[in-house]
Amino acid sequence: MTTEIVYKGELRCEMKHLNSGELVITDAPIDNHGKGQAFSPTDIVAAACGSCALTVMGIAARTHNILLDGTKVTVLKVMTSNPRKISEVHLDFYFPSNNYSQKEKDILEHTAKTCPVLLSLNKELKQDLKFHY
């Protein structure tokens, strides 16, 4: 097991990472009967896309000696209804000032696009990744 989740009431859950003891709270979003005071489960899925992409890019950067520290990704999640689900995830990557070669850009972009989270999602989900150097 990696996670234990407890329903706390009022559409709030507490997720505990069992190895570290770290806690994450989720709330239902305001547009779905919730308070929107924490990440919603779908927010976490979208955020995981960005976090996973940056993590595997970090592995590639370490392997190829590419400067990645300070890189930021912003995440936009688009929902649809009927059925209610994530229809689009937009990731915008902002890199620190550096003279990245085309080879380095290719490595980082390919790595981001093939991160395990993005590869695990439904093929119908629109994935829009943009890279700003």
DSSP bridge partners of 17: 3
Residue-level pLDDT at 124: 94
Listed by start position, the domains of the chain span 3-32, 41-132
Q: What percent of the chain has pLDDT over 70?
A: 100
Comparing CA positions, the residue from 67, 62, 57 lying closest to residue 117 is: 57
Q: What is the pLDDT of residues 36-86, one digit of tens each?
A: 999 999 999 999 999 999 999 999 999 999 999 999 999 999 999 999 999
Q: Are 104 and 66 in contact (CB under 8 A)?
A: yes
Please give the average per-residue pLDDT across 100-104, as a whole number: 98
Q: Are 49 and 75 in contact (CB under 8 A)?
A: yes
Superfamily of domain covering 41-132: K homology (KH) domain (3.30.300.20)
Residue-level pLDDT at 104: 98
pTM of the full predicted structure? 0.93
* Strand ranges for the chain from DSSP E: 3-9, 12-17, 23-27, 72-80, 85-94, 126-132
Tell me the pLDDT band of 11, cut-offs 50, 70 and 90.
very high
CA–CA separation, 14 and 102 (whole Å):
43
